[in-house]
A and B are shown apart, each in its own frame.
Chain A
Amino acid sequence: LAKTTQPVSMDSYEGQEVNITCSHNNIATNDYITWYQQFPSQGPRFIIQGYKTKVTNEVASLFIPADRKSSTLSLPRVSLSDTAVYYCLVGDDGSGNTGKLIFGQGTTLQVKP
């Protein structure tokens, strides 16, 4: 079972770049890495997904080293509205099914003025 480990919480200031690293030592060959964001009392929102190297969209970048045992979500120039919980999800639940999202505790990012 590919499990993830990420920091429980992080603090940052407005305008800074924030990097949240996720460890997934047991990632399987066909597993993808996906990040979701959740604001209080709302459902999670998809941020980005990748398999290897670097993926970038209008919201964030995802860096995945060659061994794929970790990944880093990079949020450029955060604002107060980026304060949220960020979840790193990897592949499947061990049964080969990647349609199921297995959420961990996530990283609570607090952006300060």
Chain B
Amino acid sequence: ETGVTQTPRHLVMGMTNKKSLKCEQHLGHNAMYWYKQSAKKPLELMFVYNFKEQTENNSVPSRFSPECPNSSHLFLHLHTLQPEDSALYLCASSQDYRLTGASYEQYFGPGTRLTVT
């Protein structure tokens, strides 16, 4: 138990569906992240929020839309996804988001296994 929860744990959706992934952290952290992990590929950073403000968007397609209403909650809204978007989506949080020096330890949730049919 890392203090970061994600729901749902598994999701199957069609390409025309709209769904949302939810992440909640109980650690009092200020930074939250979305990562994508496809089969046999390294984790890819998608978005970073620091104090509810988006600070990083790693050229993610617009069919992925993040939302961070407060420092404890992070959503990833999904619409018109493609089969190649099937992956494990991981949420993480850290105390803060440091631009230089040592990176803050990131605490990851268990992930949502997404299958797009």
In the complex, how many residues of chain B place their beta carbon closer than 8 angstroms to a beta carbon of chain A?
31
Question: Which of B48, B56, B91, B111 is within 8 Å of A42, CB to CB?
Answer: B111
Q: Report the number of A-B residue pairs with Cβ-Cβ less than 8 Å.
A: 71
CB within 8 A of B48: which of A32, A96, A100? A100
Contacts A41-B88, A41-B111, A101-B45 hold; do A46 and B106 have CB atoms under 8 A apart?
A: yes
B98 with A102: CB separation less than 8 A: no
Of residues 5 to 21 in A, which have CB atoms within 8 Å of B's CB atoms?
Answer: none
Residues of A whose CB lies within 8 Å of any CB of B are: 30, 32, 34, 41-46, 49, 51, 89, 96-106
Question: Can you report 8 residue pairs joining A to B where beta carbons are below 8 Å apart?
Answer: A43-B91, A44-B108, A99-B55, A99-B97, A99-B98, A100-B45, A101-B45, A106-B42
B residues near A (Cβ < 8 Å) are: 2, 4, 31, 42-45, 48, 55-56, 88, 90-92, 94, 97-111, 113
